Amino acid sequence: MQSALHARSKLPDVGTTIFTVIGQLAAQHEALNLSQGAPNFAPDPKLVDGVAQAMRAGHNQYAPMAGIGALRDALASKVETLYGARYDPATEVTVIASASEGLYSTISALVHPGDEVIYFEPSFDSYAPIVRLQGATPVPIKLSLQDFRVNWDEVSAAITPKTRMIIINTPHNPTATVFDDADIARLKAITQNTDIVILSDEVYEHVIFDGAEHQSMARHTELAQRSVIVSSFGKSFHVTGWRVGYCLAPAELMDEIRKVHQFMVFSADTPMQYAFVEALAKPESYLGLSAFYQQKRDLLVHALRESRFELLPSQGSFFMLARFRGFSDESDSDFVLRLIRDVRVATIPLSAFYTDGTDGGVVRLSFSKDDATLMEGARRLCSV
């Protein structure tokens, strides 16, 4: 049907996300999908049973706006045990309808027209559009193309009186880097005595490798006092389609975030919340994720040892970057299309994570797949 109206777009330069495009092409060519950070294996059957039991018990109507009390209590206890910070479940913990909703609610609540928001590229693709939708200006700072670390001198130089927020993401999607003590020290120094809010995307908090310690903002009091932390049950329990996460923030900030959250979705899915209460009572269900995914990372690295790709270190998350400039001058988008068509493996071009399409000859691989898929995908990639 042709519309009789002209829609004035708020995001005229934004089209269908790269994840949808690659997913459609992968399906069309029957390619193995190593592109999306969505596990292709089943979650714990006990978790699924927990949802079914909650449904049968009648927990099928709206949950409280901030999330069921038992889940907020469990989250507060978990965070205190892991990071030493005590958040009040009543006023500082909110269950959200996906980490994406938490990001949107936070930016919408705390960023005003004319503000500036610093973030790091390559980045998760929703950050800049959400900022723009608030009438604010996203300020991208590029990570080093050599090791994808933050240049904190550039961050310091980019701060102006209009800077309202800095968005960080550790472990980082798509580069699989993690913050270390030096990063934390510089972040503290840069934000000290300012009104800058830190929005910390920590959805991969339990997927960190080689004995490293996750540098949650909750671990550092002076940062926690100015931070909103967003995390995800979907990433931690292999249920990305359930769209449930959580948000932590000082009460003054959380009060504003909840004002937006209540009008976006009101509350997250009820039966899933009851199931997650039971899951959090067993810390091994998420504390074993690092070892679980490190095994998959190492399996893929070993399987690609005879390939022509240069694999970059993966310190956390579900991802690994691979350079291909050593054997191809194609753009990363063309290279990804050729992989899908010719070897039937789907990856993501790193340029998709930049607003200006920076092309460094790098693709992102996801190892959140069963071992058979990883081995077959690597076999095909070794033929390139």
C-alpha to C-alpha distance for 64 and 268, rounded to whole angstroms: 9
> Does the pLDDT at position 16 exceed 80?
no
- Of 221, 252, 285, the residue at which a domain comes to its end is 285
SS3 category, 227: strand
73 and 164 belong to one structural domain: yes
Residue 301 lies in a domain: yes
Residue range 14-29: mean pLDDT, rounded: 81
Whether residue 129 has a cis bond before it, omega within 30° of 0 = no
Give the model's confidence band at 246: pLDDT under 50 very low, under 70 low, under 90 confident, else very high.
very high
Structure confidence by residue, pLDDT tens digits, 109-124: 999 999 999 999 999 9
339 and 238 belong to one structural domain: no
Residue 332 lies in a domain: yes
Q: Which of 30-39, 81-90, 215-224, 326-335 has the lowest mean pLDDT?
A: 30-39
SS3 category, 327: coil
- Of 228, 259, 285, the residue at which a domain comes to its end is 285
For residue 86, the domain's CATH number is: 3.40.640.10
Cβ contact 296:371 at 8 Å: yes
Q: Which residues contact 112 (CB under 8 A, 6 or more apart)?
A: 134, 135, 136, 164
373 and 332 belong to one structural domain: yes
> Does the pLDDT at position 15 exceed 80?
no
Q: How far is CA 119 from the centre of its chain?
A: 13
Query: For residue 32, what are its two tokens?
Result: 């193995």
C-alpha to C-alpha distance for 335 and 362, rounded to whole angstroms: 9
Give the model's confidence band at 274: pLDDT under 50 very low, under 70 low, under 90 confident, else very high.
very high
What pLDDT does residue 29 have? 87
> Does the pLDDT at position 134 exceed 90?
yes
292 and 309 belong to one structural domain: yes
Residue 8 lies in a domain: no
Cβ contact 94:265 at 8 Å: no
56 and 192 belong to one structural domain: yes
Structure confidence by residue, pLDDT tens digits, 175-232: 999 999 999 999 999 999 999 999 999 999 999 999 999 999 999 999 999 999 999 9
% of residues, the chain, pLDDT over 90: 90
Give the range of the structural domain holding residue 25, as residue numbers without chain letter: 18-43+288-381
Residue 129 lies in a domain: yes
Cβ contact 82:103 at 8 Å: no
- The total of structural domains in the chain comes to 2
118 and 102 belong to one structural domain: yes
What pLDDT does residue 115 have? 98
SS3 category, 323: strand
Structure confidence by residue, pLDDT tens digits, 144-191: 999 999 999 999 999 999 999 999 999 999 999 999 999 999 999 999
SS3 category, 312: coil
What pLDDT does residue 7 have? 81
Query: For residue 231, what are its two tokens?
Result: 């995390």
Residue 3 lies in a domain: no
For residue 36, the domain's CATH number is: 3.90.1150.10
> Does the pLDDT at position 24 exceed 90?
no
pTM of the predicted protein model:
0.95
What pLDDT does residue 1 have? 79
- Of 243, 265, 285, the residue at which a domain comes to its end is 285
154 and 60 belong to one structural domain: yes
What pLDDT does residue 52 have? 98
End-to-end CA distance of the chain: 44
Query: For residue 324, what are its two tokens?
Result: 């291909």
Give the model's confidence band at 87: pLDDT under 50 very low, under 70 low, under 90 confident, else very high.
very high
Arithmetic mean of pLDDT over the chain? 95
What pLDDT does residue 295 have? 98
Cβ contact 359:351 at 8 Å: yes
211 and 333 belong to one structural domain: no
Alpha-helical regions (H) of 66-151: 69-83, 99-110, 127-133
Give the model's confidence band at 372: pLDDT under 50 very low, under 70 low, under 90 confident, else very high.
very high
102 and 248 belong to one structural domain: yes
Query: For residue 315, what are its two tokens?
Result: 């310190």
86 and 184 belong to one structural domain: yes
**For residue 235, which of 271, 213, 209, 203 has the smallest C-alpha distance?**
203
C-alpha to C-alpha distance for 102 and 309, rounded to whole angstroms: 36
237 and 132 belong to one structural domain: yes
What pLDDT does residue 219 have? 97
Residue range 5-34: mean pLDDT, rounded: 84
Q: Which residues contact 286 (CB under 8 A, 6 or more apart)?
A: 206, 236, 237, 279, 280
> Does the pLDDT at position 18 exceed 90?
no
Residue 9 lies in a domain: no
C-alpha to C-alpha distance for 191 and 83, rounded to whole angstroms: 21
249 and 308 belong to one structural domain: no
Residue range 334-363: mean pLDDT, rounded: 95
SS3 content of the chain, % helix, strand, coil (to 5): 40, 15, 45
> Does the pLDDT at position 76 exceed 80?
yes
> Does the pLDDT at position 307 exceed 80?
yes
> Does the pLDDT at position 361 exceed 80?
yes
What pLDDT does residue 370 have? 96
> Does the pLDDT at position 273 exceed 90?
yes
What pLDDT does residue 13 have? 82
Q: How far is CA 257 from the centre of its chain?
A: 19
Residue 31 lies in a domain: yes
Cβ contact 130:104 at 8 Å: yes
Residue 237 lies in a domain: yes
Cβ contact 370:41 at 8 Å: yes
